[in-house]
Amino acid sequence: MSDGGRKKGKAVVVGGSIAGVASAHALIRAGWEVVVVEKSIAPPTRSPTGAGLSLDTVSQKIVNSWLRQPHLLQTSTLPLSIDLNEATDGEKNIRWTLARDENLNFIAAHWADLHSLLYDALPPDIFLWGHLYLSFCISNDESNVKVKTKILQTGEIIEIVGDFLIAADGCLSSIRRSFLPEFKLRYSGYCAWRGVLNFSDNEHSEAMIGIREAYPDLGKCLYLNLGYRTHTVLFELLHKKINWIWYVNQPEPELERNSVTTKVSSNMIKEMYEEAEKVWVPEMVKLMKETKEPFINVIYDCDPLEQIVWDNVVLVGDAAHPITPHSSRSTNMAILDAAVLGKCLEKQVAENLHSALGEFQSIRLPVVSKQVLHSRYVGRIKQGLVLSDRNPFDPMIAKPEECQILLQRSVPFLGDAPSILP
């Protein structure tokens, strides 16, 4: 029993990425026991896995509330105070401003750094590393859920029993498929070349000097460069790293190994460089060439789901709302999902679990639905794709009033914290 005689419930979380560790924090804060099932063999501490991300002001406050030493979030990130969208003419080697906001108030982090920060602040015994999720079943009286997993190192299959299941298993969620067997992700029409350049050993190289001159606000600015039917994203990370993304319109590729990240060959990288030279200024091209092991993400989202709770199962993060990256929402939505879920559960004893999950769904579903559709719309604008209510966007001739939607501040509910949060 927890304080005041309230029954302490147990949650099983499937997925140990940001959504999973955030859910663990929120539920522990609410007085719940938590077990996190993750197929990776060990924590990705100090791993180069992943790329750059940004946190808005609400997410920053939530993460700080979970950390024993809140200052660590600021010392592990860089501020992003400027949101700058520019048009780029690679042939003439010129850029000009389309829209600028100097009150962004985001912070930039590497995925692995944020994950380590959150993971290290959790009790060490709640994670089951190297456990492959297999299936789940809900008891006839809906009083518990059994999760079956396989221990990868031994092959042993075990069952974990909890009051409810949190599906934090990403945009390709197999738990979601249990309820929506016909569900399919929607291909956006484009993929993203991505990379993180570590320039700690070549801070004074020709490429870095050129980048600093071409992008003088690196370190505090979210740069978005728009060409004809394409765009890039560029921002600096802590520890002398630069995160870059280049979105390219193309037919949908085949996914490999149930992942939206695809391997690339040396020939593909060479062709990417050649195409970049036709579109982007030389400094950007040099940055791409200096980056080791660039990779490709296939960009998906889905039409907003009508529900994200079924009996004793709740979807969070990308399992609940796959989204394109243009509004910097994926990580922020996952963190807010976790915080709201925790507060809903904190209000209810375990016997009122379904009421708490229903409240969570009613709070989050309208918000995430609008944000998913907004990000889709902005992505199609930036990629010059067909739109139902306007001509395809051309940054070369765009008027200032057309460009305001490109800014992060145009995101619905940005900066709004649900009233259930303190």
- Do 40 and 162 lie in a common domain? yes
Q: For the chain, first and last CA: distance in Å?
A: 25
The sheet that has 157-162: what strands, in order across it?
131-138, 145-151, 157-162
3-state secondary structure of 223: strand
243 & 140 share domain: no
Could you give the number of structural domains in the chain? 2
Do 79 and 107 touch, CB atoms closer than 8 A? Answer: yes
Containing structural domain, residue 78? 73-110+187-301
Q: What is the pLDDT of residues 217-256, one digit of tens each?
A: 999 999 999 999 999 999 999 989 999 999 999 999 987 7
Assess whether 362 and 281 both reside in one domain: no
Specify whether 258 is located in the same domain as 293: yes
**Calpha distance 58→336 (Å, rounded):** 8
- Predicted local distance difference test score (pLDDT) of residue 241: 93
Residue at a domain's end among 301, 324, 353: 301
Residue 63 lies in a domain: no
Asked if 24 and 164 sit in the same domain, the reply is yes
Whole-number mean pLDDT of the chain?
Answer: 93
Bridge partners for 420 per DSSP: none
Residue 18 has pLDDT above 60, yes or no: yes
For residues 282 and 359, membership in a common domain is answered with: no
* Nearest to 329, CA basis, from 367, 274, 366: 367
pLDDT exceeds cutoff 50 at 160: yes
Closest CA to 115 of 22, 35, 29, 237: 22
Has residue 64 been placed in a domain?
A: no
- Flag whether 54 is in a domain: no
> Does this model's pTM top 0.85?
yes
* pLDDT class of 370 with cuts at 50, 70, 90: very high
- Shared domain for 156 and 199, answered yes or no, is no
Distance CA 1, CA 260 (A): 42
Residue 422 lies in a domain: no
Q: Specify if 62 maps to a domain.
A: no
**Domain's final residue, options 301, 333, 353:** 301
Return phi, psi of residue 158, to 5°.
-130, 160
CA distance 137 to 162: 11
Among residues of the chain, what percentage have pLDDT more than 70? 96
More confident residue, 46 or 209: 209
Is 59 within a domain? no
Q: Is pLDDT of 14 > 70?
A: yes
Q: Is residue 228 in a domain?
A: yes
For the cut 60, the answer to whether the pLDDT of residue 6 exceeds it is no
Q: What's the CATH number where 327 sits?
A: 3.50.50.60
Check pLDDT > 70 for residue 132.
yes
Q: To which residue do tokens 């419930």 refer?
A: 9
Average pLDDT estimate for 42-65: 84
Q: Same domain, yes or no, for 307 and 162?
A: yes
Asked if residue 379 and residue 253 are part of one domain, the reply reads: no
Look up the CATH number of the domain holding residue 222: 3.30.9.30
Q: Are strands 10-14 and 33-38 parallel, antiparallel or unpaired?
A: parallel
If asked whether residues 101 and 241 sit together in one domain, one would say: yes
Q: Do 96 and 179 share a domain, yes or no?
A: no
Residue % of the chain over a pLDDT of 90: 84
Alpha helices, H only, 151-255? 174-179, 206-214
Out of 272, 301, 330, a domain closes at 301
2 — pLDDT class (breaks 50, 70, 90): very low
406 band by pLDDT with thresholds 50, 70 and 90: very high
The whole-number pLDDT of residue 47 equals 53
- Domain-embedded: residue 412: no
Same domain, 103 and 126: no
